[in-house]
Structure 1
Amino acid sequence: MFQPVAIAPSILSADFMNLGRDIRMIEQAGAGYVHVDVMDGHFVPNLTMGVPVVKQLAKLANIPLDVHLMIDNPLDELPWFLEAGADIACVHAEVLYGDELRRAVDMIHDAGAKAAVALKPHTPPEVLEEVIARLDMVLVMSVEPGFSGQSYIEGSEEKVAAVAEMARAVGNDALLIEVDGGVSEATVERLTAAGADVLVCGSAVFGAQDPAAALAAVKEKGDAARVAAIEDARAEEALAEEEM
């Protein structure tokens, strides 16, 4: 079944002096989420926004807040961000050990939010095996986390396809796959064809001369590529049945 691609503009690339204006603009342009990059200066070498900003964004936004926690101690800080209004809370697999990843997912769900786990470029999807059946979203990083405006790491679409296959294997057909890093008109088609549902766009939207038009263009290309991939898969299935 075709599911339209959702764009999640990252406000890290927005005008911090006019966040209300920029949120209204992306909502009117058809964004599916507001992507909020929280960086602690430890897990990644950058420091961005925290709980007070998320709390204010929750008051402004009419679309879900997708809060990406690039922090060392998510089990300690998750309650703060959940209480502040995160609709989706995304933690990094790289800082959760043993049963901590399961505990983080439980904590998010118990708060009534959707649970997501992010994977850095060199983290294998297999780390999600114990929780993928219960996740609402997986975030595939197609750049190293920490700074906006980086170039797309070639081959990231292969990890998207691997996560999609893992989700199918456990029957989690509702899982969303999000991609963050270097997403633009030049990379979107291969990502959505591989199974990406949500695309984080920072400079590709907010750095464009016409942000609303840029958002629409990425979404249009992504949707077209997804439809083509679905049609190709159906054709292959039909051919395989004929040959049986």
Structure 2
Amino acid sequence: MNFDRNIKIAPSILSADFANFGKEIETIEAQGCDWVHVDVMDGHFVPNLTFGPPLCAAIRPHIKTVMDVHLMIEPVDPLVEAFAQAGSDIITIHREASPHIHRSLQAIRATGAKAGLALNPGTGLDDVKYLLDMVDLVCIMTVNPGFGGQKFIHSQIEKIRELRSMIGDRPIHIEIDGGVTSETAPLVAEAGADVLVAGSAIFNGGSVDQADIYGHNIRAIREAASAACVAA
């Protein structure tokens, strides 16, 4: 993975057809997505329950871009190795889910995967400045984690702006997860985000047989975000 700050669109397969993941992934990649986002939920750290390492291993052969795995689980350390072995390119864990977050990030990097740090909407940036040498990505949650289709929390825009200033010229992505649409994408891009996770905004209305809808939705989000970056 070569680092750049160009806008990247990462569809969340939480909104895809669960019975047809392989084709869904191949379709969104053919329609221009940059990363494939996998939301892992444990029914404990967050209310919902979704995927485990076997699912990640099963879809890995279908992913030609980047498998971006977001672990909304607690405890997280015992499963880092399993998700790495399943083929994760990026493993993102929550600050709130690990009492020894520095050690957890080290464990991710030791597997060869990129390390991501996610922050819930109610979590501030105070701890992040001490972890910037350990992360390749910071994910700002713009909804409370656990369910797709929630409304964007606008108070997080200032957090994105502050994080971008903290990062400076370090090669760290800022990822946004939650409520991303063609309307909210410009707001987060202008503030400094470069990876946009979107679920329902990409998958709703489309299918593997109506792939052009996926493509239209991906382009709409990308163009809106990119225009805001140029304007800024």
Give TM-score, length-normalised by structure 1: 0.89
2:190 is matched with which residue: 168, 190, 193? 193
Matching of residue 220 in structure 1 with residue 217 in structure 2: no
Give the 5 Å matches for 1:43-122.
43-97=45-99, 100-122=100-122
Give TM-score, length-normalised by structure 2: 0.93
Superposed CA offset, 1:12-50 (max 9, x none): 000011111111111112111100000000000010011
Structure 2: how far apart are the matches of 1:226 and 1:162? 16
Alignment check: 8 A CA contact 2:118 2:138 kept:
yes
Q: Which residue of 2 is the match for residue 211 of structure 1?
A: 214
Q: In structure 2, the residue corresponding to 1:133 is in which secondary structure? A: helix
2:23 is matched with which residue: 21, 24, 37? 21
Superposed CA offset, 1:140-178 (max 9, x none): 00000000000001122111111111111xx52x11000
State the percentage of identical aligned residues: 42
**Pairwise CA distance, 1:3:** 3.3
**Pairwise CA distance, 1:107:** 1.1
Runs of 5+ consecutive residues of structure 1 not aligned to the other structure: 230-244
Structure 1: how far apart are the matches of 2:179 and 2:103? 31
Q: Which residue of 1 is the match for residue 180 of structure 2?
A: 183
Structure 2: how far apart are the matches of 1:113 and 1:135? 11
Q: In structure 2, the residue corresponding to 1:125 is in which secondary structure? A: coil
Q: Which residue of 1 is the match for residue 137 of structure 2?
A: 137
Alignment check: 8 A CA contact 2:102 2:134 kept:
no
Structure 2: how far apart are the matches of 1:190 and 1:152? 11
Of the structure 1 ranges 149-158 and 176-185, higher mean CA displacement relative to structure 2 is found in 149-158
Alignment check: 8 A CA contact 1:8 1:198 kept:
yes
Alignment check: 8 A CA contact 1:208 1:214 kept:
no
Q: Which residue of 1 is the match for residue 167 of structure 2?
A: 167
Indicate the RMSD between aligned Cα atoms, in angstroms: 1.1
Structure 1: how far apart are the matches of 2:5 and 2:85? 30
Tell me which structure has the larger Cα radius of gyration: 1
Superposed CA offset, 1:103-154 (max 9, x none): 1111111111100000000000112122113310000000000000000011
Superposed CA offset, 1:162-206 (max 9, x none): 1111111xx52x110000000001101110000001000000000
Q: In structure 1, the residue corresponding to 2:6 is in which secondary structure? A: coil
Moved over 2 A (4+): none
Aligned length: 223
Q: In structure 2, the residue corresponding to 1:90 is in which secondary structure? A: strand
Structure 1: how far apart are the matches of 2:67 and 2:155? 28
**Pairwise CA distance, 1:208:** 3.5
Structure 2: how far apart are the matches of 1:5 and 1:41? 31
Structure 2: how far apart are the matches of 1:3 and 1:91? 21
Alignment check: 8 A CA contact 2:201 2:217 kept:
yes
Structure 1: how far apart are the matches of 2:205 and 2:194? 22
Q: In structure 1, the residue corresponding to 2:91 is in which secondary structure? A: strand
